[in-house]
Amino acid sequence: MRHDTTGTTWKARAPMTGTAAASVARQEKDIAETVARLRAVFDSGVTRPAAGRRRRLHALRRLLRDHTPAIEEALYDDLRKGRTESHLTEIGGVLAEIEHALRHLDRWMRPRRVAVPMNIRPATARIHPEPLGVCLIIAPWNYPVTLTLNPLVGALAAGNAAVVKPSELAPATSALLADLLPRYVEAVAVVEGAVEETTLLLGQRFDHVFYTGNGTVGRVVAAAAAKNLTPVTLELGGKSPVFVDETADTAVTARRLAWGKFTNAGQTCVAPDYVLVTRAARDSLLDALPRAVHRMFGPDPRTSSDYGRIVDDRHFRRLTGLTAEGELLTGGVCDAEDRYIAPTVLTDVPPGAPVMTEEIFGPILPVLTVRDVHEAVDFVNARDKPLSLYAFTRDRKARRALLEKTSSGGLVYNAPMIHLGVPNLPFGGVGESGTGAYHGRASFDTFSHRKPVLSKPTRPDTLSLVYAPHTSRSFALVAKAVSRTHPLLGRRR
């Protein structure tokens, strides 16, 4: 099967003509040479020293600062992102990640000493973080700067070389990164393209593959990586639910939901996907949501410089089909030529409707009514584990129920999405929403091997007890030592 990074599963490749086969062979040769070149760079040792890691992080920061206007223009061309949104969700986020890595790099790189059991002493044991090698980063289109460069920050901080594959669905940003990254940052290569190029890249041997996208393609990436036993990080998606009860501040809740849902026209992996509101809070929330949308984007969001567009025609058609069931509370206006879909809120949506079974990834927010937090917990647990779970409640028992009785990549009270801005919090999914995590120290660890190193002197030779031939005395001494250190044998009854 062939695949792309946007979620389409492709049919088997048709037989190629001689010219097409020759073109693919050239591409494969070029990609193999690129990977081989980076492996030679890594093997030379230049990526390992702290000074070199810092130099590359500084260069990446300089790239962002030197070319901010060009990045803003590319993001506008690809997704109609406004200048402020580009800084909040793209450029600024990467700069913050770089600053955090530079501030903490020395501590992250420092070997960590660990205790040695009595029966192994005298000895010292440490954990030494070391780079993995040449890493592949496959990025999506919805945040084409952040979701390309944030993983790269971790790879560079950990001392690796990297191949970056931007999304072809954000062509302006992809072309800009392909031009700038190799000029600014050593030990980094960019491979542009679509299905063919991604497939060829996955045929190469890497030391880590970092993929952001959806579960369908994530399985393809994992299967390809498994052929070389390559570890993977899969940052996937899913449906991120919101719980709202009568203890919440409805006006603030509505504004934060409108911001979290309709930023980037809803094309955000951690955007609120649907709302579960208690009966007691339903009318107040439904009254506040249209007002919040109007306050942010005006009477006609089409004219707002802060409201984006759908990435392509295929996604536009998919999204308009998701509005077929449920009652329209606000929005619903669509313009295929402009790929515009107004911020849309649906109520009374059947739980089995496509908008409730598929990841929406667009500006459509279904609102369903539940009796209480326990019904909400049952609803969430009957579905795949979400990437994020949001709860607007001041009820401690409700918070505890959501914390202890549900599983999600992250849990946030009283705001959507902002946990991505905390570098000390690892970001990642669980189950269908992904495997592995990154941001801050978690990024460094993801792209590192934590190598255990033990050093034991040859005198005194305390290992003599384990040498053959074994005697009754050596058995008694070994049994006594084991009983003291083994968690089961040493337990008193």
Average pLDDT rounded to a whole number, residues 128-134: 98
Question: For residue 485, is pLDDT > 70?
Answer: no
Residue 487: which pLDDT band, with cuts at 50, 70 and 90?
A: low
Question: For residue 5, is pLDDT > 60?
Answer: no
CATH superfamily of 2-236+440-449: Aldehyde Dehydrogenase; Chain A, domain 1 (3.40.605.10)
Q: What residues are paired with 435 via a beta bridge?
A: 234
Per-residue pLDDT, 474: 79
Residue 486: which pLDDT band, with cuts at 50, 70 and 90?
A: low
pLDDT in tens, 107-120: 999 999 999 998 88
Compute the distance between CA of residue 480 and CA of residue 489 in angstroms, rounded to an integer: 10
pLDDT greater at residue 139 or residue 478: 139
Residue ranges covered by each domain of the chain? 2-236+440-449, 240-428
Among 208-212, 412-416, 450-454, 482-486, whose mean pLDDT is lowest?
A: 482-486
Query: Is there a contact between 329 and 347 (Cβ–Cβ < 8 Å)?
Result: yes
pLDDT in tens, 301-319: 999 999 999 999 999 999 9
Residue 7: which pLDDT band, with cuts at 50, 70 and 90?
A: very low
Residue 480: which pLDDT band, with cuts at 50, 70 and 90?
A: confident
Of 59, 235, 91, the residue nearest 173 (C-alpha): 91
Compute the distance between CA of residue 32 and CA of residue 152 in angstroms, rounded to an integer: 20
Among 6-20, 103-117, 173-187, 421-435, whose mean pLDDT is lowest?
A: 6-20
Question: For residue 20, is pLDDT > 80?
Answer: no
Question: For residue 19, is pLDDT > 70?
Answer: yes
Residue 488: which pLDDT band, with cuts at 50, 70 and 90?
A: low
Average pLDDT rounded to a whole number, residues 111-131: 95
Average pLDDT rounded to a whole number, residues 454-458: 95
* CA angle, 187 then 206 then 193, to 5°: 75
256 φ/ψ angles, rounded to the nearest 5 degrees: -70, -35
Among 17-31, 34-48, 351-365, whose mean pLDDT is lowest?
A: 17-31
Average pLDDT rounded to a whole number, residues 361-365: 98
Q: What is the pTM of this model?
A: 0.92
Compute the distance between CA of residue 290 and CA of residue 5 in angstroms, rounded to an integer: 34
Contacts of 412 (CB under 8 A, 6+ apart): 388, 389, 390, 391, 418, 419
pLDDT greater at residue 8 or residue 116: 116
Query: Is there a contact between 428 and 436 (Cβ–Cβ < 8 Å)?
Result: yes
The Cβ-side half-sphere exposure at 290, using a 13 Å CA radius, reads: 13
pLDDT in tens, 155-177: 999 999 999 999 999 999 999 99
Among 16-25, 138-147, 191-200, 214-223, whose mean pLDDT is lowest?
A: 16-25
Average pLDDT, the chain: 93
**Hey, what are 144's tokens?**
């084409």
Residue 397: which pLDDT band, with cuts at 50, 70 and 90?
A: very high
CA distances from 142 to 89, 264, 283, 327, 447 (A): 11, 8, 33, 28, 23
What stretches of 185-236 show up as alpha helix (H) in DSSP? 195-202, 215-226
Residue 17: which pLDDT band, with cuts at 50, 70 and 90?
A: low
Question: For residue 372, is pLDDT > 60?
Answer: yes
Among 14-23, 280-289, 396-405, 411-420, whose mean pLDDT is lowest?
A: 14-23
Q: State the catalytic residues.
A: 235, 269
- Axis-axis angle for helices 171-184, 68-79 (nearest 10): 150
Compute the distance between CA of residue 202 and CA of residue 436 in angstroms, rounded to an integer: 19
Question: For residue 22, is pLDDT > 90?
Answer: no
Per-residue pLDDT, 348: 93
Average pLDDT rounded to a whole number, residues 400-424: 97
Average pLDDT rounded to a whole number, residues 66-93: 97
Among 64-68, 201-205, 469-473, whose mean pLDDT is lowest?
A: 469-473
CA 103 to chain centre: 22
Query: Is there a contact between 433 and 383 (Cβ–Cβ < 8 Å)?
Result: no
Of 435, 74, 88, 83, the residue nearest 268 (C-alpha): 88
Per-residue pLDDT, 427: 97
The yes/no answer on whether domain 240-428 falls in CATH 3.40.309.10 is: yes
Q: What residues are paired with 340 via a beta bridge?
A: 335
**Hey, what are 327's tokens?**
């009652």
Residue 476: which pLDDT band, with cuts at 50, 70 and 90?
A: confident
**Hey, what are 177's tokens?**
């990164």
